[in-house]
């Protein structure tokens, strides 16, 4: 177990290239947790400031959609990667929730321990910055793609969704061998699927007009007409109308 | 040759009076001599759109039908009394005569109790056309298919049936269309009003024309702007560029072509 943690830390983005003494110091401080699929290791809005390193398994980073049970997936994170670094730095509430996709083993490092170690080994801070910059670049790619697709939707073009669906099945974990842009597309596709659902609903509403017209009860219609046409008044009216029309035609000719 | 144009709808709330007032006003604006009869004696309402109240309207159709006053004393010339609202003021100098029904409770209950003489109404309409030398006489009818309505339909040269795109209107309109055809109305047109913007209007028009086997003169949108206007003016005159007003002018073109 200790060896495993050692290897993991040595290979991680934040701690690789740090001398063994720092790694050993970290190993003393981190706490190991086992998390079941579906459980959250971080809850959006919560006020805590630990950072987590995934030892094994995968998590999804999600933002819940307002007023609904749905969620928007921002990222998938796997072994050797960190989550929760924002609150570690700025101590503000958690910006997103992190939920286990599979059984998970994570290492927790508190802000207090992190700062203590960083005081002795400032290089660790630089590594953290590099990782955070990478995440930032991913977010920018994500935004850029979101804007591009929004424009397409405004023009009624949903073809990019089909292309994206063809590129990979939904629900599977998006690993890091893919480029930032390919990964952003995968996550955004799920979100923009919603826009396509809206379009479908709109089309269905238009279709309802057709259904409305078709719903004329011909039996009822015939019965009502029969009642009117069968009355004495109608017979008299029809006769009078014919006379009026004849007179009009005569006066036209005259 | 003068034309009688009946504006009818099977159910209430289709915007019938409002549409009648707008069509008549636009035809008058085109230089024709126009009359409007409110035969919805049970619940008159068109006078409000022309700024009339119980006092200013003077003699009413009710009195004429009882033989108390001649028809010319019932006619109220809007062109001489436009008021100063932005739409109606455009009617100044035009020949647009309103034959209002009484809005007095006692008069209405008298009609409800005794009914009124359909033949007398027919004579009255001919009298109006002749006396005021009208090109077009618009009849704002009572919703449904009672005897007065059947009479109005039967003497019409042009019948415009207003419907909203909903099932109850479709059913009642289907019956009315068949009756109008049996009464040999020369020019029968449907007018779809209060269509929700989510509908494809072109498609809606084609579908309805197919199902009713009757031309649709226009599909007019449901509009909040109309509600804001709150019946105080003639909408298509006040807001000529509004899609609803453009639709109204489309119907007017149809009517004028028939004339």
Q: What is the pLDDT of residue A182?
A: 80
For chain A positions 219-248, those within 8 Å of chain B (CB to CB) are 220-221, 224-225, 228-229, 233-234, 237-238, 240-242, 244-245
* Residue A166 vs residue A127, higher pLDDT: A127
Quick: pLDDT tens for A105-159: 999 999 999 999 888 888 888 888 888 888 888 888 888 888 888 888 888 787 7
Task: Decide which of B117 and B24 is more confident.
Answer: B24
> Which of B152 and B23 is assigned the larger pLDDT?
B23
Alpha-carbon gap, residue A46 to A98, rounded angstroms:
12
What is the predicted pLDDT for the residue at A153?
81
Query: What per-residue confidence (pLDDT) applies to B166?
Result: 83
Please compute, for residue A11, the number of CA atoms within 13 A of its CA located in the half-sphere on the CB side. Answer: 12
Give me the percent of chain B exceeding a pLDDT of 70.
Answer: 90
Is B179's CB within 8 Å of A214's CB?
no
In this complex, do B183 and A212 lie within 8 Å of one another by their Cβ atoms?
A: no
Task: Judge whether residue A206 has pLDDT over 70.
Answer: no
Instruction: Report pLDDT for A209.
Output: 59
Residue of B nearest to A253 (CA): B1
Closest chain B residue to A202, measured at CA: B198
CA of B185 to nearest chain A CA: how many angstroms apart?
Answer: 10
pLDDT over 80 (residue A244):
no
A33-51 mean pLDDT: 93
A14 or B40: which leads in pLDDT: A14
> What is the 3-state secondary structure of chain B?
CCEEEEEECCCCCCCHHHHHHHHHHHHHHCCCCEEEEECCCCCCCHHHHCCCCCCCCCCCHHHHHCCCCCHHHCCEEHHHCCCCCCCHHHHCCCCEEEECCCCCHHHHHHHHHHCCCHHHHHHHHHHHHHHHCCCEEEEECCCCCCHHHHHHHHCCCEEEEEECCCHHHHHHHHHHHHHHHHCCCCEEEEEEEEECCCCCHHHHHHHHHHHHCCCEEEEEECCHHHHHHCCCCCHHHHCCCCHHHHHHHHHHHHHHHHC
B-chain residues within 8 Å CB-CB of A234? 150
pLDDT exceeds cutoff 70 at A212: no
CB-CB neighbors (< 8 A) of B204 in chain A? 209
Q: Identify the band that residue A252 occupies on the pLDDT scale cut at 50, 70 and 90.
A: low
What is residue A254's predicted lDDT score, i.e. its pLDDT?
61
What are the structural domains of chain B?
3-258 (3.40.50.300)
């Amino acid at each position: 177990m200790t060896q495993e943690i050692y290897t993991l830390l040595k290979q991680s983005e934040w701690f690789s290239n740090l001398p063994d003494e720092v790694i050993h110091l970290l190993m003393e401080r981190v706490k190991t947790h086992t998390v079941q699929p579906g459980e959250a290791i971080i809850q959006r809005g919560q006020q805590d400031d630990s950072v987590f390193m995934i030892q094994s398994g995968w998590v999804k980073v999600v933002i819940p959609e307002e007023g609904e049970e749905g969620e928007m997936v921002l990222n998938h994170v796997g072994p050797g990667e960190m989550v929760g670094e924002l609150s570690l730095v700025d101590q503000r509430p958690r910006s997103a929730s992190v939920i286990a996709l599979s059984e998970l083993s994570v290492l927790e490092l508190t802000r207090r321990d992190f700062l203590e170690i960083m005081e002795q080994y400032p290089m660790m801070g630089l590594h953290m910055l590099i990782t955070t910059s990478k995440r930032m670049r991913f977010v920018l790619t994500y935004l850029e793609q979101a804007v591009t697709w929004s424009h397409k939707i405004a023009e009624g073009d949903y073809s990019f969704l089909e292309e994206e669906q063809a590129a990979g099945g939904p629900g599977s974990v998006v690993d890091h061998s893919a480029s930032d842009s390919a990964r952003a597309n995968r996550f955004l596709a799920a979100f923009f699927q919603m826009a396509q659902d809206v379009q479908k609903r709109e089309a269905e509403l238009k279709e309802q007009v057709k259904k409305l017209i078709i719903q004329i009860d011909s039996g009822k219609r015939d019965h009502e007409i029969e009642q009117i046409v069968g009355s004495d008044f109608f017979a008299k009216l029809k006769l009078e109308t014919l006379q009026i029309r004849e007179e009009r035609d005569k006066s036209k000719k005259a | 040759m003068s034309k009688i144009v009946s504006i009818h709808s099977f159910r209430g709330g289709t915007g019938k009076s409002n549409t009648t007032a707008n069509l008549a006003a636009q035809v008058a604006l085109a230089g024709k001599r126009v009359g409007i009869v409110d035969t919805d004696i049970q619940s008159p309402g068109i006078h409000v759109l022309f700024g009339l109240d119980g006092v200013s309207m003077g003699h009413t159709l009710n009195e004429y039908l009882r033989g108390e006053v001649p028809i010319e004393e019932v006619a109220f010339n809007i062109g001489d009394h436009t008021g100063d609202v932005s739409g109606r003021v455009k009617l100044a100098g035009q020949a647009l005569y309103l034959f209002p029904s009484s809005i007095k409770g006692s008069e209405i209950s008298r009609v409800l109790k005794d009914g009124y003489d359909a033949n007398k109404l027919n004579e009255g309409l001919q009298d109006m056309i002749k006396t005021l030398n009208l090109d077009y006489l618009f009849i704002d009818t009572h919703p449904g298919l009672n005897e007065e309505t059947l009479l109005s339909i039967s003497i019409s040269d042009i019948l415009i049936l207003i419907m909203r795109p909903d099932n109850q209107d479709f059913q009642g309109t289907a019956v009315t269309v068949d009756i109008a055809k049996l009464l040999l109305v020369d020019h029968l047109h449907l007018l779809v009003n209060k269509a929700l913007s989510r509908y494809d209007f072109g498609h809606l028009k084609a579908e309805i024309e197919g199902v009713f086997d009757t031309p649709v003169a226009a599909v007019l949108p449901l509009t909040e702007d109309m509600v804001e206007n709150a019946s105080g003016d003639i909408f298509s005159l006040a807001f000529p560029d509004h899609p609803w007003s453009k639709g109204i002018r489309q119907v007017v073109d149809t009517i004028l072509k028939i004339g």
